[in-house]
A and B are shown apart, each in its own frame.
Chain A
Amino acid sequence: MEPFVTHRGRLALLDWTDVNTDLIIPARYLKRIERTGFGPLLFADKRYAPGGAPEIDDPERHGPENPEFPLNDPALKDATILVVGRNFGCGSSREHAVWAVQQAGFRAVIAPVPGEGFADIFESNAFNNGLLVIELPQADWEMIAKASHTAPGRAEATIDLRQQKITIEPVDGIPAASLAFQVPESQRHRLLHGLDAIAETMAHEPEIDRYERSAPEWSLPSGVA
């Protein structure tokens, strides 16, 4: 996993609440058995004009875009920080949603408010892939959303995971601002060092062995014990 220490990038705003994973990546694309190729499929049924979404096995080829979809603003082409509404990533557990967000070029996603910004499974999936998800208090989120909205493609921020701090760069009369955030310590540690969770767990194998030996007989499937 690629470590995340600091990142400076452009902001893109999608100010919708309850954005579910079916919207982020429609179910038909889950027939792909690879972890790659999901970037152009992000928001496929919103992002392309009707009939324009790519075929499952040919993600790079698509029809015209839907000009009304907020992320299709050409100014946002190079954005790497996605600012979204509450309960982002709700619904299905599909990790493909995180792969799509990442492979479309985003390193971090920012939502309001602590404890409600992201659906639980999406959040775990994001951390497991090195996508930083940040929940900000409402007023702070509004500040970063306002900068994204006022200066699309020019609003920028620097995210420092060591300090757990976001710095919004001044733009169009909006002054610089510094916002504190918090991610769970164990996740922060893994992200900063790009650690592989499985290797880490395997270091605890003796404890797993011990646990398994203490399991009651009924807890094993009958006939296979």
Chain B
Amino acid sequence: MPQTLFQKVWDRHVIRAAEGATLLFIDRHLIHEVTSPQAFDGLRLAGRKVRRPELTYATVDHNVPTENQLDIRDPLSRRQVEVLRANCREFGVSLLDIQSGRQGIVHVIGPELGLTLPGLTIVCGDSHTSTHGAFGALAFGIGTSEVEHVLATQTLWQGARPKSLGIEVTGTLGSGLEPKDIILAIIRKIGTGGATGQVIEYYGPAIEALSMEGRMTICNMSIEAGARAGMIAPDDVTFDYIARGSRPYAPKGATLDAAIRDWKTLRTDDSSAFDRRITIDAGSLVPQVTWGTTPAMTVDITGVVPNPEDVPFASPDDARRALEYMGLTPGTPVEQIPVDLVFIGSCTNGRIEDLRTAASIFRGRKTAPGVRAMIVPGSEQVRMQAEAEGLDRIFTQAGAEWRQSGCSMCLGMNPDKLTPKQRSASTSNRNFEGRQGPGGRTHLVSPAMAAAAAVTGHFTDVRHLV
């Protein structure tokens, strides 16, 4: 029977399967400060240890101020960071802390460090763990009780093996188009619950043509379609990424050669092995912009704000609530919607390529009057690389802010927040009500589209600027 990539990785990790329950071995456990304190408390209460501290890596990202990482003024944020430090010390877990040169958003640093590899199972108390699937790993988010379970046992209970959804992306992305447009178009097509309970594999020529950064952007937002995980088969692009650069935890020498021989078998044998399949054509895409309060509420940049009766996957009542929250009138051309703030960063689009793309739009231009633009590298490594390439100067010369790494304005948890009714063009992954701060209005776009909005003051078809 032909198997999918996902089935192969899943089957390799089954310790026990009975009565619809599966015990999976977990190869990597990533931890951050927000979803772990109660898990460590649980261990302490039960007198348990971390079973495999050498497979467990922590960082601080959600609470870290990106203006000055060292200056955590909010006492509750500071406490959360300090509690993680104390827990890592007590339980012997490695912490990639501020000032280590390796701190960053957990899903940006895993691949950078060489912790993320094909064929592994990777979990983290964070839904965007799906990002790591870009390497052909089975990676998914878990809750705090499960974090405690993995800490104590290095395993996780799952149900029966999930169904697989093959998404073929054909064609070639046009100029000004980005991986973000592909994933937004997919979510728009299948809905926020379109892949619930399923594992997506993305494949096809438009996927193979992408860098690892681009593949991570796509897998990152799998959860926004409800998927358990998103995966892409590893290939030479993947192997090169792992072998190059400074990736302290990646296999090297003969071990790497053996690994690559193994990884080459991690492919879907035949697309008939998927439980369900859909195809989208990258060549026909235009830049995507979300107008509403779910990532499926998306339109083309050339389109208009829809009527509440015409919104797929939402009842007219839901759609009306979204329009009201966003302060939008049906029929308004998207290009006429002004923005107050532009946020370029997050685990979706805070990697070096994203910053290069944004810089190519900012170069020689200025942010529009009244628009604040924040550029937030996803990790300290990304920050240093961008500075070595001079990208920071392009941003600051354009009047944008160049900041330190962290989750920043992706979620309203650190000082970077929208104020009520402020409207953003954001490269992050969620446009939920209040996600970037209570009352804030988020439009999700690609880095190029965000930069275009920054320099024109409203949503703009970036294809006219490239």
Task: Please give the residue numbers on chain A whose beta carbons come within 8 Å of chain B beta carbons, in ascending order.
Answer: 16-18, 20, 22-23, 26-28, 30-35, 45, 50, 53, 56-57, 86-87, 90-96, 98, 115-116, 119-121, 124-125, 128-129, 184-186, 197-198, 201-202, 204, 207-208, 211-212, 215-224
Which 3 A-B pairs rank lowest in CB-CB distance, beginning with the nearest?
Answer: A218-B259, A186-B21, A125-B143
Instruction: Decide: A198 near B46, CB < 8 A? Known: A18-B192, A121-B142, A208-B154.
Output: yes
Residues of A within 8 A of B372 (CB): none
Residues of B within 8 A of A31 (CB): 34, 63, 74, 76-77, 79-80, 413
Min CB–CB distance A162 → chain B (angstroms) = 17
Min CB–CB distance A173 → chain B (angstroms) = 25
Residues of A within 8 A of B434 (CB): 22-23, 26, 45
Instruction: Decide: A184 near B80, CB < 8 A? Known: A98-B143, A116-B193, A222-B255.
Output: no
Are the C-beta atoms of B120 and A219 separated by less than 8 Å? yes
27 example contacts (A-B, Cβ-Cβ < 8 A) are as follows A16-B318, A18-B314, A18-B318, A20-B294, A23-B433, A26-B434, A27-B411, A31-B63, A33-B79, A86-B193, A90-B226, A92-B126, A93-B127, A93-B143, A95-B35, A95-B144, A121-B127, A128-B143, A184-B21, A185-B19, A197-B145, A201-B155, A207-B23, A208-B15, A211-B25, A215-B27, A217-B251
The CA-CA distance from A57 to B78 in the complex, in Å, is: 14
Are the C-beta atoms of B433 and A22 separated by less than 8 Å? yes
Most chain A C-beta atoms within 10 Å of own C-beta, residue among B20, B76, B152, B314: B76
Are the C-beta atoms of B192 and A90 separated by less than 8 Å? yes
Min CB–CB distance A217 → chain B (angstroms) = 6
Chain B: interface residue total (CB-CB under 8 A): 84
The CA-CA distance from A123 to B141 in the complex, in Å, is: 12
Are the C-beta atoms of A222 and B251 separated by less than 8 Å? yes
Residues of A within 8 A of B250 (CB): 222
Chain A residue with the shortest CB-CB distance to B28: A221
17 further A-B contacts with Cβ under 8 Å, apart from A18-B294, A221-B114, are: A17-B315, A20-B430, A22-B411, A28-B413, A33-B80, A93-B127, A115-B197, A124-B143, A185-B19, A201-B149, A202-B153, A207-B15, A208-B154, A216-B262, A219-B119, A220-B54, A222-B248
Are the C-beta atoms of B143 and A95 separated by less than 8 Å? yes
**Segment 240-260 of B: residues with Cβ below 8 Å from A:** 248-252, 255-256, 258-259
Min CB–CB distance B38 → chain A (angstroms) = 5
B37-51: CB near A (< 8 Å → 1, else 0) gives: 110010000101000
Are the C-beta atoms of A120 and B412 separated by less than 8 Å? no
Chain A residue with the shortest CB-CB distance to B129: A93
Instruction: Decide: A207 near B228, CB < 8 A? Known: A26-B412, A219-B120, A222-B252.
Output: no
Are the C-beta atoms of A91 and B119 separated by less than 8 Å? no
B397 sits at the interface (CB 8 A)? no
**Segment 40-87 of B: residues with Cβ below 8 Å from A:** 41, 46, 48, 52, 54-55, 62-63, 74, 76-77, 79-80, 83
Residues of A within 8 A of B21 (CB): 184-186
B46, B141, B153, B430: the one contacting A121 at CB < 8 Å is B141
Chain B residue with the shortest CB-CB distance to A225: B54
The CA-CA distance from A92 to B438 in the complex, in Å, is: 16
Are the C-beta atoms of A120 and B228 separated by less than 8 Å? yes
B401 sits at the interface (CB 8 A)? no
B406-435: CB near A (< 8 Å → 1, else 0) gives: 000001110000001000000000101111
